[in-house]
Chain A
């Protein structure tokens, strides 16, 4: 799996948008960009994924650079419950049998 680079930590204020960056300069043409998050003392949970186009779901938005070498996870209004470690992961197309390889992720702190 290609490597991703994320900041170790970020801070946000409650109710404000949060932009979590991820660099993946060695991404291949078939790699999908996945985001998972892990709340304290819990297993990770899926957030969003995309290939080339920007994606939106009920949890977040994913903005993918035109050259696909970077992406940004956007939380439109951070809440205290969004405090977690966010992992940006590249992997094979959906339906493949591979596992997820986790990097260090970005620890997001949300201040009231």
Chain B
């Protein structure tokens, strides 16, 4: 199956700093990637849809100026948490779909997740 890789897998930062998380599709091209956030013991919540070459679409309640998303190529999307605060501590997960539809199931492939802890 296809592989989506996230980096870093975990990060600890001080309050007020910015953190960048990368999401790469390793063996396929993804015109669309999705960013989710998951707090402890809760389900995944969609934050934004990242489209290659265009602006991301954010879900209601997600601050686009705080969570900067860049999807500059068909294999890379980045999420930058700007001026992070302790309440931004969460598990951030990206997903992607093969743009050429090689996988007939239409399944989404998920990264391993990035755990952010803001002190």
- In the complex, A96→B106 CA distance in Å? 7
Known A43-B111, A102-B43, A105-B43; contact A94-B95, beta-carbon cutoff 8 A = no
Alpha-carbon separation in the docked complex, A42 to B34 (Å):
16
* Residue in chain A with minimal CB distance to B6: A43
B99 to A, closest residue via Cβ: A97
Smallest CB gap from A48: residue in B: B105
The minimal Cβ–Cβ distance linking A34 to chain B, given in whole angstroms, is: 8
| Per-position 1/0 for B39-71, Cβ under 8 A of A | 000011110010000000000000000000000
Q: Is the interface of A mostly helix, strand, loop or mixed?
A: loop
Contact between B34 and A99, CB atoms less than 8 A apart: yes
A111 at the interface (CB under 8 A from B): no
Query: What's the least CB distance linking B59 to chain A, in Å?
Result: 9
Q: A42-B113, A44-B44, A105-B43 are in contact. Are A100 and B106 (CB under 8 A)?
A: no
- Identify 7 residue pairs between A and B in the complex whose beta-carbon atoms are under 8 Å apart, listed by A's number: A43-B93, A44-B93, A46-B107, A49-B107, A96-B106, A100-B108, A105-B43
Given contacts A32-B106, A100-B34, 17 further A-B contacts (CB under 8 A): A34-B107, A41-B91, A42-B112, A42-B113, A43-B6, A43-B93, A43-B94, A43-B95, A49-B106, A49-B107, A87-B43, A94-B107, A99-B108, A102-B43, A102-B45, A104-B43, A105-B43
Residues of A within 8 A of B (CB): 32, 34, 38, 41-46, 49, 87, 93-97, 99-105
